[in-house]
Amino acid sequence: MSKVYMQGERLMVPDRVTIPFIEGDGVGAEITPVCQKIVNRAVQIAYGGQRSIEWKEVLAGGKAFRQTGEWLPEATMEAFREYLVGIKGPLTTPVGGGIRSLNVALRQTLDLYVCLRPVRWFKGVVSPVKEPQKVNMHIFRENTEDIYAGIEWEQGTPEAEKFYAFLRDEMGVTKVRFPETSSFGVKPVSIDGSKRLVRSAIRYALQHGLPSVTLVHKGNIMKYTEGGFKRWGYEVAEQEFARQTFTMNQYDQLKKDLGEESAHAAMAEAVNAGKIIVKDCICDAFLQNTLLMPEDYSVIATLNLNGDYVSDQLAAMVGGIGIAPGANINYQTGHAIFEATHGTAPNIAGKNIVNPCSLLLSSVMMLEYLGWQEAADLIVNALETAFGKGEATLDLARFMPDGTALGTVEFGDRLVELL
């Protein structure tokens, strides 16, 4: 038996595990083998041959289209469904095909409702902020709802006209400034969708011993969607994790009932007891705060569009937009696809200069998800050592004071050596 499976809410991982992977288009053919080599070696060292990964290639993107005539063959979906945990390189977005985005198709089909992006700084990597070592955040971006649900109609179409007529005639909406030339989009945000996301974020904070979860939203303006997300998030904390959390909601209530001193004391007691502080922040203020006092934030739970902006800003703050890892996860079914977050980089493909670290750190996340922490730690240590010595691929090395630019393959071999 080499398949990962769920037993109740627990992920069960055999020692010889099969992991389906999509090589990826463009630079995918360069970074995927390099990462697999490093991961295989780390697993071998960490477990002395007791554990191993059998990589099972599945097709998607340009390679799939060339070989099968399909961008995302059913066999690939079936493999991810069956083996639960997989990994993918970047994929070309088909132009003019039936599929808008292969990534979105994978997320929707498997209902991968969490987009998890851990953001940390590596010593040696040049950053645009003064104290990048203070950035250590874990973003839980909702993946299935919000404006990204893709429910929209283009201006001038009969659908947009019909939708506006419905708004005007049935819903009494009078605030559309230019109805004849407006496109319309719908932003669904549900109790179920919000709660499962926040639940996952709180569980993650508990499992990793992290101090806080911040609900990031625009509830001051969009009261029922973004504001709902905040309210339902607090409900999850207070109703489902009452003993492990203390919320800003509870703080405010205590302040109102018993005064600021009592609220303060309750907060201090909660912190001392190691409870997770669940707070919220309006998204625009949050983006400012992360630049001014990043140490105040740990786990972030947010809706899709906010999460998009937050992920990119935080990744840029650690100089890591090209090395940021990511995963799409459904914690209920166990399905998870780890991925390179950058694109296929056609301008540098085939030149042996691409940085493999986004996919490599996603592989580290995958090892952690499987519970193979020792192997994950070995890779992170090797990376810290390499960056600390100024050894990196060209994209990073050129900004390091004494940087040495290594080719993709050579950088991979150096990491294997450092393991």
The reply to whether 284 belongs to the active site is yes
Q: Is 338 helix (H, G, I), strand (E, B) or coil?
A: strand
- The question of whether 218 is a catalytic residue gets the answer yes
Q: Is 91 in the site for ligand NAD (CB under 6 A)?
A: yes
Distance CA 272, CA 270 (A): 5
Smallest distance from ligand NAD to CB 347, Å? 5
Out of 93, 136, 182, 385, the residue judged to bind ligand NAD by CB under 6 A: 93
Compare residues 213 and 324 and give the one whose CB is closer to ligand NAD.
Answer: 324
Of 39, 86, 28, 136, nearest to 383 by C-alpha is 39
Nearer to ligand NAD, 346 or 388 (CB): 346
**Active-site residue among 88, 218, 230, 279?**
218
Residues 6+ apart with CB under 8 A from 30: 349, 350, 352, 354, 356, 408, 409
User: Pick the catalytic residue: 83, 148, 251, 297?
Assistant: 148
76: contact with ligand NAD by CB under 6 A: no
Q: Does 143 bind ligand NAD (CB under 6 A)?
A: no
Chain position whose Cβ is nearest to ligand NAD: 343
Q: How far is the CB of 342 from ligand NAD (least distance, A)?
A: 3
How is residue 276 written in tokens? 């997770």
Residues 6+ apart with CB under 8 A from 180: 155
CB-CB contact of 184 with 152 (8 Å): yes
Q: Which of 308, 312, 377, 395 is catalytic?
A: 308
From the list 87-95, 215-223, 271-279, 296-304, the region that binds ligand NAD by CB under 6 A is: 87-95
What would the x/- binding string for ligand NAD be over residues 370 to 389, using CB under 6 A? Answer: --------------------
Please give the angle made by the CA atoms of 309, 312 and 317, to the nearest 5 degrees.
125
Query: Is-contact 365 325, C-beta < 8 A?
Result: yes
Q: Which of 18, 32, 76, 103 binds ligand NAD (CB under 6 A)?
A: 103
Quick check: 218 binds ligand NAD (CB under 6 A)?
Answer: no
Query: Which member of 345, 360, 361, 364 binds ligand NAD (CB under 6 A)?
Result: 345
- The answer to whether 355 contacts ligand NAD (rule: CB under 6 A) is yes
**Dist CA 165 CA 170 (whole Å):** 8
Q: Using CB under 6 A, which residues numbered 278 to 337 contact ligand NAD? A: 322
- Contact between 305 and 344 (Cβ < 8 Å): no
Size of the site for ligand NAD (CB under 6 A): 18
Q: Encoding tokens for residue 68?
A: 């099968």
CB of 326 to ligand NAD, least distance (A): 8
Residue 273's φ and ψ, nearest 5 degrees, are -80, 0
- The residue within the footprint of ligand NAD, chosen from 87, 354, 360, 361 (CB under 6 A), is 354
* Dist CA 146 CA 206 (whole Å): 27
CA distance 286 to 284: 5
Minimum CB separation from ligand NAD for residue 308, in Å? Answer: 12
Stretch that binds ligand NAD, among 88-96, 158-166, 242-250, 410-418 (CB under 6 A): 88-96
Which CB atom, from 33 or from 343, has the smaller least distance to ligand NAD? 343
Q: Which of 212, 304, 358, 363 binds ligand NAD (CB under 6 A)?
A: 358
* Contact predicate 90/32, CB 8 Å: no
Single residue of 33, 179, 343, 407 touching ligand NAD by CB under 6 A: 343
Q: Which of 284, 156, 170, 159 is nearest to 216 (CA)?
A: 284
Query: Which residue blocks in 239-282 are alpha helix, DSSP H?
Result: 248-258, 260-272
End-to-end Cα separation, the chain, in angstroms: 29
**Quick one: which H or E segment has residue 11?**
strand 10-12
Interface with ligand NAD (CB under 6 A), residue from 90, 118, 228, 334: 90
Those residues whose C-beta lies under 8 Å from the C-beta of residue 41, and which sit 6 or more positions away, are: 416, 419
Q: Does 92 bind ligand NAD (CB under 6 A)?
A: yes
Interface with ligand NAD includes 344 (CB under 6 A)?
A: yes
Residues marked active site are found at 148, 218, 284, 308
Q: For binding to ligand NAD (CB under 6 A), which residues are involved? A: 90-93, 103, 322, 339, 342-348, 354-355, 358, 395
